[in-house]
Structure 1
Amino acid sequence: MNKEASTGDKFHRQAISAAAAQARIMPFVATSGIERVKITESAGRILAEDIYAPHPYPYFRRSGMDGYAIISGDTQNCSAEQPVLLEVVDQIPCGSLPAIQILPGTAARIMTGAKVPDEADTVVMLEMTEQKVQDGVTYVKLIREIPPGKNITPVGFEVADGDKLLDKGCKISAGEISVLATFGLAEVPVMRRPQVAVLSTGSELLKVEEPLQDGKIRNSNTYMLACQIAEAGGEPHLLEAIPDQLDRARQIISEALASYDIVITTGGVSVGDYDIMADLVKGPDVELLFNKVMMRPGSVTTAAVQDGKLLFALSGNPGACFVGFELFVRPLIGGMLGRPQPFLPEIEAELGADYPKINNFTRFVRGRLELSTGKPVVYPALLDESSVMITIKDSDVLIVIPPTTTGIQAGEKVKALKLSGAAW
């Protein structure tokens, strides 16, 4: 058997659609488990349980203004011609409790946010009053009627006891932390971050700190993937590069699968791209999910499963590596975190510039999203080849270009997948 025939037999590449590839991955989603972390460490984490209010909020009637807590009946028929004087019997700063009972004819000076005395049924704002002192007694002068309930926030105005506060699966940010702190949740139940190992392959790769050498490139994919993993909610682990020795390479991958939830390789080795994966998936305990996808870039993206752990072999080309992660690894991590919508959000948009390339596979083209006269418009990156790295930073969508023999013209409707950095 000649070398070409042997290689073809080894890979058995049968192309499937990107949607079919995603469908083969998701049945292997297993939730990553729950852990409790300090509220100060919860930002960016995924909430593992629904959170319900343990008490109403506000918990007490509070003043919405600086002013005076009074009994509204004392102001009946009050006017400039017939003012009312109420004796000020108490001072209630925020955080303090009323010290003296409010009786008809009396008032309490009160600050914004302070507890309103039980006997008072309204608060008159400071600007509507005048303070007077007679015979050493302090009074507040009112010249108009004040209706009951004015400037008082009632118990449970925002949240009733038992109301759902936060949904399981939400990403915790500033608003969620405010809610958690308000209701005294110093420890927060969150989903454990999936542990993701990243291994690069390729004798042409330099470490990021190494000086540039002729014929070699720095290993950018590893650091790019680490950022993508963290953004998706996983915890990246950058392992040693896979060497050209296949036995040692298989050992490294096997150990990684035993220690981490997901393993990603990027690039090939000098003895042949994806040789390691091809050898690995021949084992009786490894199931090949796919090894070719009808997409550009990254058609030879490969995925396999061993003992419930997913192994992805992504392209060594930066553009293809980036797209492969967004389409296949990100939704897996999202599913493990219990996110209800783990896939990239899809929108319909107008193509903002001609895309003349013909292709027999679906293309996921890096691009930018803009709002023009109230409608979304997407612009393909000028350089979107698989090997191009520089346009990744400028892209906030993947424009879905279906197979075409003529290209697509500006103004046509296309689908686009919003990346995590999309503004809206």
Structure 2
Amino acid sequence: MNHNINNAHQEFDRSKFQRKAVQVPDAQSIIKEYVKKGITETVKLEQGDGRVLATDIFAPHAFPTFRRSGMDGYAILSTDTDCCSNGEAVWLKVIDNIPCGSVSDQIVTSGTASRIMTGAQVPEGADAVVMLEMTESRIEDGIEWVAVKKVIEACKNVTPIGLELQVGELILKKGTLIGPGEISVLATFGVHEVEVSKRPVVGIFSTGTELLDIREPLQPGKIRNSNTYMLASQLSEAGAEPVVMNAIPDDITLARQKVEEALERYDVVVTTGGVSVGDYDIMGDLVRSGTMKLLFNKVTMRPGSVTTAAVKDGKLLFALSGNPGACYVGFLLFVRPTLRQMLGMKELYLKEWSAELGSDYDKVNNFTRYVRGTLEVSDGRVIAKPAQLDESSVMITIKDSSCLIVIPPDLKGAPVGQKVKVLLLPGGLS
């Protein structure tokens, strides 16, 4: 055997065990440098739910655009009620009845009033609305009269023009995730089309000869390919369009072909499995083979220390652990922020809270641990309870978790009551 080839192989093999570990924030910063902002597209407002605005939107007109009644009642001139301070009633002649959507052509003058509905335009001359329950009425000779027995201040129950927004004011900032409230305000201003960031298309596949399709029956020594479907769900939540690809066996030549094809076709590629230091961990070998730029292949975190990122032709590849707990955490810390940056969102990372540990956490590690847990509030205190089963290979507690509890190595574990940082999981408090 050629000694040079043999030496090169030995050096390549040793590199598996000589990975340089980076801190989580450093790994996140490295990735940010390679993220390219995605392109935009225009969609109808009814298709905008869950999308991210790609441009600022300003008010084309004031809102409300007219003086609006806040009550069912009577539009009056407030000075007509000055005499009511001593309990005396003032009787006003009713000159109009104004439903919503109508504009009165009658001017309210001293001694007159107009019946008005909630939301209707307050007629000219009137400067207040007295609520129906505070009045009494009578009809004499076919003319309706209304009595007011209390002093009514000017502007009472009248919403002024532009109370909510003035013309030209910023309605929504670019990078805003569109939800029901945003849809409502955009529709109010007649914005029937919105420019949004196009969803990144992400190819995902798992590696491992041990994987079965989810439709296959169980076989000895095999497991079903659940990570791919978990990642697809996480990608959808993060605003991407997932493309589920078939799992591949432990074959580095086939893996290289599939990765290269995926990187040509999709905006980002995410794999799960094959990144540790075993003989069959092909993704780890692939990213170190020189066919792409390795960003990092070890992070000072548990679970998921073998989380790996690389870039080729400007496109990012994330190779996550095959263990479901580590895969889940690796996605949240690195892939999700990448997608949010591509979409132009401002808050890239999981929201941080402070909490107290609800039970002892005894595991000690040289790396920061991201422990699945649940949050609850007791006597005004936020309590974080670690999951009883939090091993990297455990998947069942993922569905029950609302946070990741951050346990740095200097704590050497943590007792109940310890103040800790927690990262809120998407939808974790719903």
Using the size of structure 2 for normalisation, the TM-score is 0.91
The farther-off stretch of 135-144 and 309-318 is 135-144
SS at match of 1:101: coil
Distance in 1 separating the partners of 2:109 and 2:357: 71
Other-structure match for 2:221: 215
Other-structure match for 2:374: 368
Kindly indicate whether the alpha-carbon contact (under 8 Å) linking 2:106 and 2:124 is maintained by their aligned counterparts in 1: no
- Read off the aligned partner of 2:97 and give its amino acid letter: Q
Kindly indicate whether the alpha-carbon contact (under 8 Å) linking 1:52 and 1:165 is maintained by their aligned counterparts in 2: yes
SS at match of 2:33: helix
Question: Matches of residues 6-85 of structure 1 in structure 2 within 5 Å?
Answer: 7-9=13-15, 13-78=19-84, 83-85=89-91
Distance in 1 separating the partners of 2:419 and 2:140: 78
CA RMSD of aligned residues (A): 2.5
Q: Does residue 285 of structure 2 align to residue 278 of structure 1?
A: yes
Other-structure match for 1:346: 352
Distance 1:344 1:60, change over 3 A: same
Other-structure match for 2:3: none
Distance in 1 separating the partners of 2:64 and 2:369: 53
SS at match of 1:394: coil
Other-structure match for 1:321: 327
Where structure 1 has 5 or more consecutive residues not aligned to the other structure, the ranges are none
Distance in 1 separating the partners of 2:56 and 2:180: 17
Distance in 1 separating the partners of 2:289 and 2:321: 20
Other-structure match for 2:211: 205
Other-structure match for 1:377: 383
Distance in 2 separating the partners of 1:390 and 1:19: 28
Cα deviation, residue 256, structure 1: 0.8
Cα deviation, residue 157, structure 1: 1.6
Kindly indicate whether the alpha-carbon contact (under 8 Å) linking 2:273 and 2:283 is maintained by their aligned counterparts in 1: no
SS at match of 1:252: helix
Cα deviation, residue 388, structure 1: 0.4
Q: Does residue 112 of structure 2 align to residue 125 of structure 1?
A: no
SS at match of 2:376: strand
Could you give the per-residue CA deviations for residues 14-42 of structure 1, whole angstroms, max 9, x where no partner exists? 22222222121110122112222222222
Which of 213, 225, 231 is 2:237 aligned to?
A: 231
Other-structure match for 2:247: 241
Could you give the per-residue CA deviations for residues 141-175 of structure 1, whole angstroms, max 9, x where no partner exists? 33444332222111112222222222222222222
Where structure 2 has 5 or more consecutive residues not aligned to the other structure, the ranges are 1-5
Kindly indicate whether the alpha-carbon contact (under 8 Å) linking 2:209 and 2:248 is maintained by their aligned counterparts in 1: no
- Read off the aligned partner of 1:46 and give its amino acid letter: V
- How many aligned residue pairs are there? 423
- Read off the aligned partner of 1:90 and give its amino acid letter: D
Distance in 1 separating the partners of 2:153 and 2:358: 59
Distance 1:139 1:291, change over 3 A: same
Cα deviation, residue 4, structure 1: 6.8
Could you give the per-residue CA deviations for residues 279-313 of structure 1, whole angstroms, max 9, x where no partner exists? 354345x2100111222211211110011110011
Distance 1:98 1:317, change over 3 A: same
Cα deviation, residue 194, structure 1: 1.5
Distance in 1 separating the partners of 2:241 and 2:19: 31
Q: Does residue 178 of structure 2 align to residue 172 of structure 1?
A: yes
SS at match of 2:182: helix
Cα deviation, residue 390, structure 1: 0.4
The farther-off stretch of 349-358 and 287-296 is 349-358
Could you give the per-residue CA deviations for residues 203-251 of structure 1, whole angstroms, max 9, x where no partner exists? 2112222222222111110111111111112121111222444333322
Could you give the per-residue CA deviations for residues 26-60 of structure 1, whole angstroms, max 9, x where no partner exists? 10122112222222222222222222222111110
Kindly indicate whether the alpha-carbon contact (under 8 Å) linking 1:11 and 1:278 is maintained by their aligned counterparts in 2: no
Which of 413, 416, 424 is 1:418 aligned to?
A: 424
Which of 242, 249, 262 is 2:268 aligned to?
A: 262
The farther-off stretch of 69-78 and 338-347 is 69-78
Other-structure match for 2:146: 140
Using the size of structure 1 for normalisation, the TM-score is 0.92
Identity over aligned pairs, percent: 57
- Read off the aligned partner of 1:31 and give its amino acid letter: K
Kindly indicate whether the alpha-carbon contact (under 8 Å) linking 1:292 and 1:302 is maintained by their aligned counterparts in 2: yes
Kindly indicate whether the alpha-carbon contact (under 8 Å) linking 1:274 and 1:313 is maintained by their aligned counterparts in 2: no
Distance 1:402 1:90, change over 3 A: same
Which of 98, 106, 123 is 2:104 aligned to?
A: 98
Distance 1:273 1:301, change over 3 A: farther
Distance 1:11 1:41, change over 3 A: farther
Cα deviation, residue 7, structure 1: 2.1
Cα deviation, residue 72, structure 1: 2.9
Could you give the per-residue CA deviations for residues 363-411 of structure 1, whole angstroms, max 9, x where no partner exists? 2111122223323222221111111000111112212222259533223
Distance in 2 separating the partners of 1:267 and 1:83: 82
Other-structure match for 1:181: 187
Q: Does residue 284 of structure 2 align to residue 293 of structure 1?
A: no
Distance in 1 separating the partners of 2:208 and 2:267: 24
